[in-house]
Amino acid sequence: MKGKLTNILILVSIALAAIVWSGCTPSQIPNDVKAGLSGGVAFKEVIKDPDSYQGKRIMWGGQIASMQVTKEGVYMFISQLPVNSSGQPRANGTSEGRFIALADRSLDVAIYKEGAFITVVGVINGQRQLPMVGGFLDYIYPLVTAEHIYSWSKNK
């Protein structure tokens, strides 16, 4: 009897822990946020000519490579990753390039930091041509004005 009670308590503890931990990150991007997304806007196509997708509302995911705080806001340089049906970036996915998300508000650097997995919902606002690391080549980054930014980090 004592063994069964112990097993039940362990299972209940695990279930409660799972519920608490799942509350730390969104389980999916809310439908009202996804409403109005421009269909058929694949990252691999946008990267070829970002200006032709100006004004399109997208949902892209990825991993923050670096951040830069300016008067305009916070620029997040993101290594794009495919997202699953919940909008969460697939950590084991293959990146098709990088994009910049501009947040016009301050962000908690404990949550939004290099290496964090995020999903950005926003509007394509042209491009930025900047030197890559090392400065030998320029890279054309699609620029997204972020409306919503979701962190999938477990350490919130």
Give the type of residue at 31.
Answer: N
Instruction: Note if the pTM is more than 0.95.
Output: no
More confident residue, 86 or 118: 118
pLDDT for res 153? 79
Q: What is the pLDDT of residue 39?
A: 84
Task: Give residue 17's pLDDT band: very low, low, confident or very high (50, 70, 90).
Answer: very low
Phi then psi dihedrals of residue 74, to 5 deg: -105, 120
Average pLDDT, the chain: 83
Helix (H) or strand (E) holding 63: strand 57-69
* Domains defined along the chain, listed by start: 29-151 (2.40.50.140)
Higher pLDDT, 32 or 77: 77
User: In the prediction, which pLDDT does 1 show?
Assistant: 59
Kindly indicate the confidence band of residue 156, based on its pLDDT and cuts at 50, 70 and 90: very low
Each residue of 127-153: pLDDT tens digit?
Answer: 999 887 677 888 999 999 999 999 997
What residues pair up with 129 in beta bridges, in sequence order?
A: 140
pLDDT more than 90, % of the chain: 56
Whole-Å CA distances, 67 to 62, 90, 103, 108, 125 = 13, 21, 11, 12, 18
Q: What is the distance between the alpha carbons of residues 47 and 35, in angstroms, rounded to a whole number?
A: 23
Q: Residue 32: pLDDT above 70?
A: yes
